[in-house]
Structure 1
């Protein structure tokens, strides 16, 4: 009996030692924001009242506004942004982010927005920050994700008060991005090349009809059902109207008008947006425009610039529990090698140059 007790005690000590190691070497702290220097900021645009949080990292350093990708994102993307946010704060870069319309404490409905509406909203956020005491002439930059690829390039046409743009996992053309996403999804479902080609042709024909001006949502729904599409793959009415509103988006004309520093980071293993198309478009349109602009395809990186070996899924709801746990324990280490250093070093570099000018 005594021997059993000794063995049990040893096992308990081993488990406690393992838990201690996890907490010692994990990055759980990356998901905790500093409680000091936080300020709630509210502003209005398009009949909506938007609310967010500004976290000040330094008295005169740059401020980065986070511009969301697709989906019902709150200001910190349900905590997913926090390792990135803490990395920015550690580098002396202040951060402002807000809940999308209809999410968190913001009013409205994000699915009723065009990309121009989202650019106007970003401009309103900049103006709200400039009204705060101590905002002064600190450099303001935009850091956007995915769908923000159609938002960020348009904002500098609305204001001179943006010093730089940093785009992660952005796309160029709405329709080609949709084809790329669908192709990857069908491949991962095990469809043959012939089956994929047939489905993409069907979708292209359907989209020309449904995202024109005359088709109704009920007509779309009936046609998708008759084509044998699963119920969970059909669009809600709001999503249908959102797609119609933005179906013809292409960022090239806005990109061509940019004169400020731009950093583009696209993951080589992006399953959502074609990294070659994105980086090639920026390079061809902005080559030689600004000496500090950079356009990178990052090896072993996902759509969100996380490590592709561990986190490469098209949607977050596809992450198994083990992947979720790994992310929580890894924090900023979940990103592909060099991504966060590249981003923070570049922001500090271009902001210092802006300040000198």
Structure 2
């Protein structure tokens, strides 16, 4: 007797719908979001809260349980027909693992398919255990082993990565597909197996076991007979489950720190997550029993029936719509969190429509067809086209995507080119923008602020004051502009997290030296500018070299790093509603955390955020300010939550005994924020601010100052 694939008659319809519902949650959980300050909105905290409370980890848990249920169904059908199931299923899992390898390393390394294939092999070993034994095994893997690994990785230093985490920030914005693949390989959980995969495999395998158990008790076929169980699952999921997700939110947002007395918390969170996922399944099954509701949520069926194809297509969507490595919309970091989720819903609707149209002619998705065709010994039962065995497959599917944005073309003439130059042993990538083809062109080297912001695509990466002052001011005034990728970003070598401010200043001066080597640049009129943290870098360069024409500091602090961070934290906590003793306690807690981070960075060999913080936390710039001899303009925003103007101006006055040298001038832009957008107070979010418009007086101030040089 031959082993045939599942037919339309013996499929469980609600499981298809549930699988489609889970895929929607997976899409919402994974859809790329830039999280740039320039696109933050007032609704972001609420969306983040709802994401952690309702979505994060819940739907991939459901998806994993359904995989275990699918294993049980196939095994049961094989046993009923006295068919040798094990050789078939091993072959099927090996093929699935191969599909996962292709998906993970060529598209998106967040792949879960390889984990399913890996765990599926081990399901064969436990398939004959009793329900009680399976339940115990599920709890052991899902709660205890997963919890222990989580604690070990997060608190005991079990996982040590050899790569810089800045690579993850570079991946969505690199314009080179080869570079994208390189980062994909370096950061892949399977490449870093011991660091990343034990946790995933343990949790996934535990979920598969639960799926097998649900199959054994006819949970999906006869849910009405298990009303008491589903009542309990719904009740526990909506109480303990939601409470656990709330705790998870507190941890992810930094409101709760897991010290030794709280090491029991991860076990509770994992158990609650399982209960919440099971409550979602139970509620969905009950809703599906209503014919009226079934017509609505039946929208999920086509996606669920072609789940593997649609899961893979979601990664294709990410590449073509968000990331920059292939031709596409390149929306990463350009749309808000709310807009990102809205777009994800539109994409899922498109998947449902396409899947529905496809299933009118074909019994399964294209990837499912190939996978099953290679899995079954007898191919005669697998026909892509439904009408007859002898009908040749002649079908094409055209997917039309509506452009959701348009590319902007710069109105003014300019010549932009990528350049490479050496800074010691490192190679630094830059983008040079010329306003014309004339010789003796003055120039500015620009230094961006903190973080892994790669400028490997001028039109795509410029934001806030960078874009406005480069395009609308400096080019207009005849200046060429060179700004560079930090070490390790774009095509620059090295690692920016290993580079302190003096190292960044060395790279910046290497850019100036490079400009001097160009025959069309006036070597006597090269200035340096920096925004935010880049202001410190500009001050160092100008203080160490006497050939700098001028310094332009945009929201660049005159106080040291620790003082600036303390000021920023105080302002941020006040905006969050803290006052009095609660405010003081919050600030002290934050200071203690920063001290711990610096100590961790000092004692750890890992090159991460703690190490970088250790390298820069005690920097003060008083000596650099005293050594400035060239003209320097400091522009501050009145309502800058990051760099308070009064504190920084007071430092200048104190430093020079209230006789600030004539070469140093400053100006506070009324109602300006950190990006020089007009706002009503410090607490206005970036996105709201941008809608109020960029402050034109900021541009006029720079124009006037440059004319007077």
TM over 0.5: yes
Q: Which residue, out of 417, 432, 443, partners 1:39?
A: 417
Say whether the 8 Å CA contact 2:530–2:552 is kept in structure 1.
Answer: yes
Compute the displacement of 1:133 (Å): 2.1
1:130/1:207 Cα in 2 relative to 1: closer, same or farther (>3 Å)? same
Aligned residue pairs total 294
- 5+ residue gaps, structure 1: 1-27, 219-235, 328-333, 351-357
Tell me what 1:17 maps to.
none
Q: Distance in 2 between matches of 1:125 and 1:39?
A: 14
* 1:209 Cα deviation after fit: 4.5
Are 1:240 and 2:647 matched, yes or no? Answer: no
Q: What pairs up with 1:298-313 in 2 under 5 angstroms? A: 298-309=669-680
Match of 1:194 in 2: 581
**Structure 2 gap segments, 5+ residues each:** 1-405
Q: Per-residue deviation at 1:98?
A: 1.3
CA positional deviation for 1:179: 1.1
Q: Sort the Cα spacing of 1:297 and 1:36 in 2 relative to 1 into closer, same or farther, 3 A.
A: closer
1:265 alignment partner in structure 2: 635
Q: Distance in 1 between matches of 2:602 and 2:443?
A: 44
How far residue 202 of structure 1 moved from its aligned partner, in angstroms, is 2.4
2:430 paired residue number: 52
Q: CA deviation at 1:345?
A: 2.1
Query: Deviation of residue 46 (structure 1)?
Result: 4.8
Contact kept, 8 Å, 1:279 with 1:297, in 2: the verdict is no
Distance 2:614 2:647 in 1: 23
The offset of 1:153, in angstroms, is 1.6
Residues 130 and 136 in structure 1, CA contact (< 8 A), matched pair in contact too = yes
For residues 66-118 of structure 1, give each alpha carbon's deviation from its aligned partner in whole angstroms, at most 9, with x where no partner exists: 11111122234812122221111112122111122222222222222100001
Aligned residue in 1 for 2:207: none
**What is the rounded CA distance, in whole Å, between the counterparts of 1:147 and 1:155 in structure 2?**
13
Residue 348 of structure 1 aligns with which residue?
Answer: 707
**Residue 151 of structure 1 aligns to a residue in which SS?**
helix
Match of 1:141 in 2: 527
Other-structure match for 1:232:
none
Residues of 1 paired with 2:599 and 2:623: CA distance? Answer: 22
Aligned residue among 449, 452, 475 for 1:69: 449
1:83 corresponds in structure 2 to 468
Contact 1:147 1:170 in 2 (8 A): yes
2:518 alignment partner in structure 1: 132
Displacement of 1:48 after TM fit?
2.6
Please show how residues 159-238 of structure 1 align to structure 2 within 5 Å.
159-171=545-557, 172-212=559-599, 216=603, 238=608
| CA shift for structure 1 position 131 | 1.0
Choose between structure 1 and 2 for higher RCO, CA contacts under 8 A separated by at least 6 residues. 1
Q: Which of 605, 622, 643 in structure 2 is aligned with 1:252?
A: 622
Structure number, greater radius of gyration = 2
RMSD: 3.0
Q: Which residue is 1:353 aligned to?
A: none
Q: TM-score, normalised by structure 2?
A: 0.38
- Return the offset for 1:189: 2.2
Secondary structure at 2:634's aligned position in 1?
strand
Q: 1:38 to 1:282 in 2, by over 3 A?
A: same
Is 1:276 equivalent to 2:646 in the alignment? yes
**Kept after mapping to 2: 8 A contact 1:180/1:274:** yes
Q: CA separation in 2, counterparts of 1:289 and 1:323?
A: 32
CA distance in 2, matches of 1:290, 1:56: 33
In the alignment, the residues of structure 2 paired with residue 292 and residue 185 of structure 1 have an alpha-carbon distance, to the nearest angstrom, of 33
